Structure 1
């Protein structure tokens, strides 16, 4: 892990175009998948029925794509810590793809690049992060995304 800490919007602007590094690995457990299913109401058998999923197309239960996507935030906070601001908000996503399913018990991590930093109304900046959520020992990533966040002083 190579966490970067910046103090204020001016320091953040200087990082535009920079690689942010790699997060630590986290395990995607059946308990995490079940909790996500309960929170969202998505109890499809490929996620929550280990016996049936073992005989299914992936050979094991898999994480919801949106669970994988939601893990972007805790993984991202390992890469970049912006201090000296009053407000941090997720603004949205430009692109998201899920090239490979995350099987229960897999470990994932995030690699990130700060693609852009742009000023926005209200004295803030919007950052665009190109992120890849990798699966340990897998040929394809779990998710490839472009995330937008806003920071205000």
Structure 2
């Protein structure tokens, strides 16, 4: 089965440059991480938590970022049947797939761009804080009229 899904929310309107950036990143070394995280989303609710078992069960699964008039859509090749009801993808899974796209591919591309254009220093606490703020803002996790009642942890190299 091959199916195409469109974004819900923050990824529904992108410039052509942003789409090109996403497509380049989607064919980079990050692709395997993007594929595996997307597969994990599609297997939400599985009775197993064995990644080895899920990867073996879905070895024919593939995912592609496709250009459309004002943004992107995802092409799912051989996705798990349990991610669909009456032939339509479960809405929360659809939203979560685009969150994976945003968080892995788009954020990586933003970090790469910031390193090149603004001399982003990932050893500098101010730069790291600014990047985390940008990620949270892009994910719409911060709201102007609310206290940000959250704790953010990060660690390890970003490249």
The normalised TM-score by structure 1 is 0.30
